[in-house]
């Protein structure tokens, strides 16, 4: 930031000028005024610590007022690029709100000037609606997480292929909204990831997963429960502490909890490796979910100390009709075996698919053919 000094009475910028920077007042006083039908209207007089000229910079429109030094002033210039970069890096909802405020400001100025033209176009209207829908979804999710009764885990059986017995369950979150009905996890998990709500969702899922495990263990002593953790959760600095906190609330056997980490482009392997080691340090097992679709970059695979891989549904679907897909599946299974990891195939929808993975020596099978996700109560 550079410092500019203006003498008393000097013009800092004039109404109609193109914007290049905003200013922070270090010393002195600045008057913000405008011409209205030949008359000068003073909007504001600003002093040290205050910022002006930011609106035109943010929405890249001409200055709507004139700034003049009332005394000698020292100003820090905030360059347009610095501001724009920060706005572009901000949360999408904050960005949308900012755009909205700017639009509102501009129309207010237009009304004050008696111009009253409409600045809105349809596109703007649509993106407003999108942002508003998102905000109300986020508010509803926040409320649901506080109450807890709209959120529920469904448990989908995971079968041990060789014996046919149910060895464990994957916990899948469900949200039943009183008015909207059920909201798909894909939709609200992504939203939760854009905010810090994912940490709360994650804690809820783990807590309920532990509760389900305790209940299921009363009937079957070595059953396990898997819970999903998204990339954004792993990134949070308090991730491991949150997991540890939830685990210490119950006396559950930690070896019965497996954490599924979805492959993701947004995480680098070092981060994932760290998270895997921390989770295993807490006594949990780690499964690489949707294996083959993301970071199963061979050059880093040996550094990830996972316990199992879950073959993505797309491989299971394709391997029956494409011998190249089958070859890839065989290679993945061989890698997992060589690394001492267990294998799970997801998306098993037909007896033929189950037979195929049996022939390949995959340890566990999951999918609609084995069983749909059901509430815990249905299993007790
Ligand atoms: P995922 O972890 O890959 O979960 C498997 C998804 O496939 C589930 O959808 C499940 O219901 C569905 N599925 C299971 N068997 C079959 C099958 O035979 N055929 C087909 N076509 N689909 C099958 P769901 O429950 O809608 O979850 C979607 C995704 O949402 C999950 O994908 C996971 O990424 C995310 N998710 C779900 N619950 C949680 C959670 O508690 N935490 C986090 N972070 N993510 C979750
Ligand atoms: Ca999963
Ligand atoms: Ca999956």
223 lines ligand 1 (CB under 6 A): no
320 touches 341 (CB < 8 A): no
| Residues by chain with Cβ below 5 Å of ion ligand 2 | 228, 260, 289
pTM of the model as a whole: 0.74
* Residues 135-169: tens digit of each pLDDT: 778 888 888 988 878 999 999 999 999 999 999 99
pLDDT for position 111 = 64
- The number of angstroms, rounded, from the C-alpha of 99 to the middle of its chain's C-alpha atoms is 22
What burial class does residue 199 get, using C-beta atoms within 10 Å of its C-beta: 0-12 exposed, 13-18 middle, 19+ buried? middle
CA separation for the pair 45, 349 (Å, rounded) = 71
pLDDT at 1 over 80: no
Atom number, ligand 1, closest to the C-alpha of residue 172: 38
Nearest to 320 by CA among 359, 352, 368, 366: 352
For residues 303 and 340, which has the higher predicted lDDT (pLDDT)?
Answer: 340
156 CB near ligand 1 (under 6 Å): yes
Residue 18 DSSP class: P
Quick one: which H or E segment has residue 266? Answer: none
pLDDT recorded at residue 244: 96
pLDDT value of position 11: 95
Residue nearest to atom 41 of ligand 1 (CA): 173
The answer to whether the CB of 66 is under 6 A from ligand 1 is no
Q: Is 347 in the pocket of ligand 1 (CB under 6 A)?
A: yes
The answer to whether residue 4 scores a pLDDT higher than 60 is yes
Confidence of residue 105 (pLDDT cuts 50, 70, 90): confident
Kindly list the distances between the CA atom of residue 216 and the CA atoms of 166, 220, 221, in Å, as whole numbers in the listed order. 11, 6, 8
Give tens-digit pLDDT for 81-98.
Answer: 888 888 888 888 888 888
Region 108-117 average pLDDT: 62
- CA-closest candidate to residue 173, choices 379, 341, 375: 375
The Cβ of residue 91 has, within 10 Å, a number of other Cβ atoms equal to: 10
Residue 65: burial class (beta carbons within 10 Å; 0-12, 13-18, 19+): buried
- 368 Cβ closer than 6 Å to some ligand 1 atom: yes
pLDDT score recorded for residue 123:
55
List pLDDT tens digits, range 47-82. Answer: 998 899 988 888 888 898 999 999 999 998 888 888
Q: Which ligand places an atom closest to the C-alpha of 290?
A: 3
Q: Per residue in 249-293, pLDDT tens?
A: 999 999 999 999 986 666 778 888 899 999 999 999 999 998 877
Looking at the predicted structure, is the pLDDT value of residue 108 above 50? yes
Structural contact between residues 285 and 307, judged by C-beta atoms closer than 8 angstroms:
yes
| pLDDT score, position 179 | 85
Which ligand 1 atom is nearest residue 262's CA?
Answer: 34
Can you give the pLDDT at residue 119? 45
* Alpha carbon 21 to its chain's center: 32
Which residues lie below 8 Å from residue 9, measured CB to CB, with a gap of 6+? Answer: 68, 69
Ligand with minimal distance to 174 CA: 1
Cβ of 326 closer than 6 Å to ligand 1, yes or no, is no
pLDDT band at 357, cuts 50/70/90? very high
Q: Tokens in use for 326? A: 């089958």
Q: Which ligand 1 atom is the nearest neighbour of the CA of 366?
A: 15
CA gap 17, 115 in Å, rounded: 19
At 198-207, the pLDDT tens digits run 899 999 999 9
Q: Which ligand 1 atom is at minimum distance from the Cα of 227?
A: 41
Name which residue leads in pLDDT, 59 or 354: 354
Q: Which two tokens stand for residue 156?
A: 């989908």
Question: What residue's CA is closest to ligand 1, atom 23?
Answer: 347
Mean pLDDT of the chain: 88
pLDDT at 213 over 90: yes
User: How many angstroms does the Cα of residue 34 sit away from the middle of ligand 1?
Assistant: 58
Residue 67 in 3-state DSSP?
strand
DSSP 307: S
Tokens 């501001």 correspond to: 83
What pLDDT is recorded for position 39? 81
Ligand 1 proximity of 122 Cβ (cutoff 6 Å): no
Predicted confidence band at 113 (pLDDT cuts at 50, 70, 90)? low
Q: Over 154-198, what HEC string results?
A: EEEEEEECCCCCEEEEEEEEEEEECCCEEECHHHHHHHHHHCCHH
- Bigger pLDDT: 122 vs 229: 229
Residue 126 has pLDDT above 70, yes or no: no
Ligand 1, residue 233: give the atom nearest the CA.
Answer: 44
Percent of the chain topping pLDDT 90 = 55
Q: Which helix (H) or strand (E) holds 117?
A: none
Compute the distance between CA of residue 185 and CA of residue 174 in angstroms, rounded to an integer: 6
β-pair partners for 228: 260
Q: What is the mean pLDDT of residues 206-222?
A: 95
pLDDT at 127 over 70: no
Confidence of residue 377 (pLDDT cuts 50, 70, 90): very high
Nearest CA to ligand 1 atom 9: 172
Whether residue 182 has pLDDT greater than 80: yes
Per DSSP, helices labelled H in the chain are 54-59, 80-89, 92-112, 122-147, 185-194, 197-217, 231-235, 239-249, 269-281, 298-301, 313-319, 323-338, 351-359
Helix 197-217 and helix 239-249: axis angle, to 10°? 30
The Cα–Cα gap between 60 and 235 comes to 34
Q: What is the pLDDT at residue 45?
A: 93
What pLDDT was estimated at residue 364?
A: 98
């Amino acid at each position: 930031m550079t410092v500019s000094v203006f003498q008393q009475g000097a013009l800092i910028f004039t109404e109609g000028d193109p914007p290049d920077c905003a200013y922070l007042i270090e010393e002195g006083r600045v008057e913000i005024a405008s011409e209205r039908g030949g008359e000068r209207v003073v909007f504001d007089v600003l002093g040290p610590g205050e910022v002006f000229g930011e609106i035109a910079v943010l929405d890249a429109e001409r200055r709507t007022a004139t700034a003049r030094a009332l005394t000698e002033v020292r100003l820090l210039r905030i360059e347009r690029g610095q501001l724009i970069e920060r706005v572009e890096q901000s949360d999408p909802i904050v960005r949308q709100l900012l755009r909205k405020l700017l639009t509102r400001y501009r129309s207010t100025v237009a009304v004050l000037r008696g111009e009253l033209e409409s600045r809105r176009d349809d596109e703007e209207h649509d993106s407003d609606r999108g942002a508003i829908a998102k905000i109300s979804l986020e508010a509803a999710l926040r409320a649901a997480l506080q109450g807890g009764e709209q959120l529920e885990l469904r448990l989908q059986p995971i079968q041990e292929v060789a014996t046919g017995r149910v060895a464990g369950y994957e916990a899948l979150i469900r949200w039943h909204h009183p008015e909207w009905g059920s909201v798909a996890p894909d939709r609200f998990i992504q939203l939760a990831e854009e905010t810090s709500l994912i940490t709360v969702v994650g804690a809820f899922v783990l807590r309920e997963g532990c509760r389900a495990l305790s209940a299921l263990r009363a009937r079957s002593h070595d059953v396990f429960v898997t819970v999903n953790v998204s990339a954004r959760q792993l990134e949070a600095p308090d991730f491991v502490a949150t997991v540890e906190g939830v685990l210490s609330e119950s006396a559950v056997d930690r070896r019965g909890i497996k954490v599924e980490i979805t492959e993701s482009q947004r995480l680098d392997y070092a981060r994932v490796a760290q998270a895997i080691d921390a989770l295993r340090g807490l006594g949990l097992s780690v499964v690489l979910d949707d294996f083959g679709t993301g970071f199963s970059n061979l050059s880093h695979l040996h550094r990830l100390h996972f316990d199992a891989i879950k073959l993505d549904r797309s491989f299971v679907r394709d391997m029956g009709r494409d011998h190249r897909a089958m070859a890839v599946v065989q290679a993945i299974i061989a890698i997992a075996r060589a690394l001492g990891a267990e294998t799970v195939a997801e998306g098993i929808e037909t007896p033929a698919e189950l037979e195929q993975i049996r022939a390949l020596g995959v340890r566990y099978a999951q999918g609609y053919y084995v069983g749909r996700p059901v509430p815990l109560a249905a299993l007790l």
